[in-house]
C-alpha cells in the first residue's frame, strides 16, 4: 500500500535470473521520476512522449545499462531491464532516490495465458525468447483465443479452425522459449566433434585429443543461436565398441540422438563423405532436422562440388559462421511481434484437440476445450 498521491515503484516480473525484467512506476510523478534516471537515445524526455511510446536509452549515464521504457496511460511507465536481482534492484534504488515509494504490485485478475506467461518470463534466458513471452503476458494469446471463441459462438468452425492452425504453427517456438532446442553433434570417433563443439561455443568445453574414444559421455552446454536458447551436445563416437565404458558412451549418444531437435552429422572431409554412418543416424535421429557437415577441411583438397556437406575447420574457423546460420535456418521462424503463441504443452494439446473438434463440425466441443485457457 502507498499513500494517496504517491508515485510507486514495484517489480512486475517474478523473481529469478532471466533475460528481461520489468519494473513498473505508477503515480502522478511517474514520467518525471523516470526522466531523472533515463537518458533516451532520441533525446526526448519520457514526460514528453505520448502513451504507448517505446523508447531505447541508457540508465543513469551515457555508458550505463541499455534498456527500454514504455509509457502507459494514464500515469505509468514500465522500465524493461536485464533480468537478474542486481540489475532490478539497481533500477528500483535509482527510482526510489528520484522520489518513488517502493511497493508491492497490486494483484489484478489476468487471463490464464497471460498470467502463465508472466510467471514463465523469469526463466527466459535470451531477449528474443523473452520478447515472445512478453507478448503473451501482454495478452496476445488471450486475444487470439477470444477471437476463436467469438467465431465458434457464431458457428464459424472453418474460420475458427484456421485461427487455431495459425496458433499451432507457432507452438514449436513457444515450447522452446525456456526449454532449449537440443542440438547434437554426432559422428564416428575422432572426426572432430569436440573441436567443432568448442568452436561453436567459442570456448573449450570439451576435451580434445587425437585419439578415438576420447569423449565417453555426453558433454552438454547451454548457449544461444540466432537469439534462441540452445543445448549443444558433444557425444561419443558412433561405432561398434568393444570396451564396456565406450559401449555405454555410444548408448548415451544414441539416446541423445533420439531426443534431438537438430543433428549435426559430422564426418571427416574431404574423403568418403560419412559413408557407413547413415545407419547410426537413422537409428537415432529419425525425427530430427539434420545438417551434414565435413570437418578438418583445412587439411586437404576442397570438397567436391556435388558433396552436400558444409565444409568446416574448427582450427581455422572456416565454415563455423555458416554452420551457425544453417542451425538457425532449420529452426522454426518466430511469430510476428504481438501475435499469439502457445508456450506450454498442455495449451498446445487443448488447442490441437479444439482444432480437431472444429474439423468435425463441433463448435461446442471446441469451446469446452478452450474455456480453461480463456476464463
Do 43 and 92 lie in one domain? The reply is yes
Cis peptide before 74 (omega within 30 of 0): yes
Q: Pairing mode, if any, of strands 20-26 and 8-11?
A: antiparallel
Q: What is the mean pLDDT of residues 314-339?
A: 95
pLDDT digits (tens, 9 = 90+) for 364-373: 999 999 999 9
**What's the domain count of the chain?**
3
Dump pLDDT digits (tens) for 264-276.
999 998 765 444 4
Indicate the pLDDT class of residue 283, thresholds 50, 70 and 90.
low
Residues 195 and 238 in one domain: yes
Q: Give the pLDDT mean for 296-308.
A: 90
pLDDT in tens, 9-68: 999 887 766 778 889 999 999 999 999 999 999 999 999 999 888 899 999 999 999 999
251 vs 342, higher pLDDT: 342
Q: What is the mean pLDDT of the chain?
A: 87
What sign results for the dihedral spanned by CA atoms 313, 316, 321, 322? negative
Rounded distance, CA 369 to CA 348, Å? Answer: 11
List pLDDT tens digits, range 62-98: 999 999 999 988 899 999 998 888 889 999 999 999 9
Domain-located, residue 226: no
Do 196 and 317 fall within a single domain?
Answer: yes
Burial class (CB in 10 A: 0-12, 13-18, 19+), 300: exposed
Place of cell 517456438: 173
Q: What is the pLDDT of residues 140-159, one digit of tens each?
A: 999 999 999 999 999 999 99
Same domain, 352 and 322: no
State residue 210's pLDDT score. Answer: 43
Give the per-residue pLDDT at 299: 86
pLDDT given for residue 213 in this prediction: 46
Structural domain span for residue 189: 182-216+232-330
One domain, residues 303 and 208:
yes
pTM for the whole structure: 0.75
Position 306 scores a pLDDT of: 92
pLDDT value, residue 203 = 66
pLDDT of residue 241: 57
pLDDT of residue 245: 58
Check pLDDT > 50 for residue 211.
Answer: no
Residue 354 placed within a domain: yes
Residues 268 and 308 in one domain: yes
Q: Looking at 90, 108, 126, which one is the last position of a domain?
A: 108
Residue 209 belongs to some domain of the structure = yes
Largest Cα span, the chain: 77
Opening angle at CA 22, ends 179 and 33, nearest 5: 165
Are 165 and 279 contained in the same domain? no
pLDDT value for 122: 78
Q: Are residues 314 and 186 in the same domain?
A: yes
- Considering the domain architecture, whether residues 257 and 298 belong to the same structural domain is answered as yes
My answer on whether 193 and 319 are in the same domain is yes
The rounded distance, in Å, linking the Cα atoms of 321 and 256 is 24
Question: Over the stretch 153-200, which tens digit does the pLDDT of each residue have?
Answer: 999 999 999 999 999 999 999 999 999 999 999 888 888 989 999 999
CA angle in degrees (0–180, nearest 5) for 172-177-178: 125
Q: What is the pLDDT of residues 106-125, one digit of tens each?
A: 666 679 999 899 888 878 88
Examine residue 223 and state whether it is found in any structural domain, yes or no: no
- The answer as to whether 221 is a domain residue is no
What is the 3 state secondary structure string of the chain?
CCCCCCCEEEECCCCCCCCEEEEEEECCCHHHHHHCCEEECCCCCHHHCCCCCEEEEEECCCCCCEEEEEEECCCEEEEEEECCHHHHHHHHHHHHHCCCEECCCCCCCCCHHHHHHHHHHCCCCCHHHHHHHHHHHCCHHHHHHHHHHHHHHCCCHHHHHHHHHHHHHCHHHHCCCCCCEEEEEEECCCCCHHHHHHHHHCCCCCCCCCCCCCCCCCEEEEEEECCEEEEEEECCCCCCCCCHHHHHHHHHHHHHHHCCCEEEEEEECCCCCCCCCHHHHHHHCCCCEEEEEEECCCCCCCCCCCCCCEECCCCCCCCHHHHHHHHHHHCCCCCCCCCCCCCCHHHHHHHHHHHHHHHCCCHHHHHHHHHHHHC
Q: What is the pLDDT of residue 53?
A: 85
**φ, ψ dihedrals at 47, nearest 5°:** -65, -15
Nearest CA among 188, 164, 134 for reference residue 22: 134
Place of cell 543461436: 225
Amino acid at each position: 500500500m502507498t499513500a494517496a498521491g504517491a508515485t510507486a515503484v514495484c517489480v512486475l516480473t517474478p523473481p529469478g535470473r532471466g533475460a528481461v525484467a520489468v519494473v513498473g512506476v505508477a503515480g502522478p510523478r511517474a514520467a518525471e521520476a523516470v526522466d531523472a534516471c533515463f537518458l533516451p537515445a532520441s533525446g526526448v524526455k519520457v514526460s514528453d512522449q505520448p502513451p504507448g511510446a517505446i523508447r531505447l536509452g541508457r540508465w543513469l549515464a551515457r555508458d550505463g545499462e541499455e534498456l527500454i521504457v514504455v509509457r502507459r496511460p494514464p500515469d505509468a511507465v514500465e522500465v524493461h531491464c536485464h533480468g537478474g536481482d542486481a540489475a532490478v534492484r539497481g533500477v528500483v534504488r535509482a527510482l526510489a532516490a528520484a522520489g518513488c515509494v517502493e511497493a508491492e504490485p497490486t494483484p489484478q485478475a489476468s487471463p490464464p495465458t497471460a498470467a502463465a506467461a508472466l510467471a514463465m518470463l523469469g526463466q527466459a534466458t535470451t531477449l528474443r525468447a523473452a520478447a515472445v513471452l512478453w507478448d503473451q503476458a501482454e495478452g496476445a494469446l488471450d486475444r487470439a483465443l477470444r477471437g476463436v471463441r467469438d467465431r465458434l459462438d457464431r458457428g464459424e468452425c472453418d474460420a475458427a479452425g484456421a485461427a487455431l492452425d495459425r496458433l499451432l504453427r507457432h507452438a514449436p517456438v513457444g515450447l522452446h522459449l525456456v526449454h532449449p532446442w537440443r542440438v547434437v553433434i554426432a559422428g564416428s570417433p575422432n572426426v572432430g566433434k569436440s573441436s567443432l563443439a568448442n568452436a561453436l561455443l567459442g570456448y573449450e568445453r570439451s576435451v580434445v585429443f587425437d585419439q578415438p574414444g576420447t569423449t565417453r559421455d555426453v558433454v552438454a552446454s547451454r548457449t544461444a543461436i540466432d537469439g534462441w536458447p540452445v543445448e549443444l551436445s558433444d557425444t561419443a563416437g558412433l561405432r561398434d565398441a568393444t570396451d564396456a565404458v565406450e559401449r555405454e558412451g555410444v548408448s548415451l549418444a544414441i539416446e541423445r540422438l533420439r531426443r534431438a531437435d537438430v543433428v549435426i552429422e559430422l564426418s571427416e572431409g574431404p574423403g568418403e563423405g560419412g559413408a557407413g554412418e547413415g545407419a547410426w543416424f537413422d537409428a537415432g535421429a529419425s525425427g530430427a532436422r539434420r545438417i551434414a557437415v565435413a570437418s578438418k577441411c583445412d587439411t586437404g583438397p576442397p570438397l567436391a562440388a556435388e558433396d552436400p556437406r558444409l565444409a568446416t575447420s574448427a582450427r581455422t574457423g572456416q565454415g563455423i559462421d555458416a554452420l551457425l546460420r544453417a542451425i538457425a535456418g532449420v529452426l522454426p521462424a518466430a511469430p510476428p511481434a504481438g501475435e499469439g503463441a502457445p508456450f506450454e504443452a498442455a495449451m498446445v494439446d487443448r488447442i490441437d484437440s479444439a482444432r480437431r473438434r472444429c474439423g468435425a463440425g463441433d463448435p461446442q466441443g471446441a469451446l469446452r476445450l478452450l474455456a480453461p485457457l480463456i476464463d
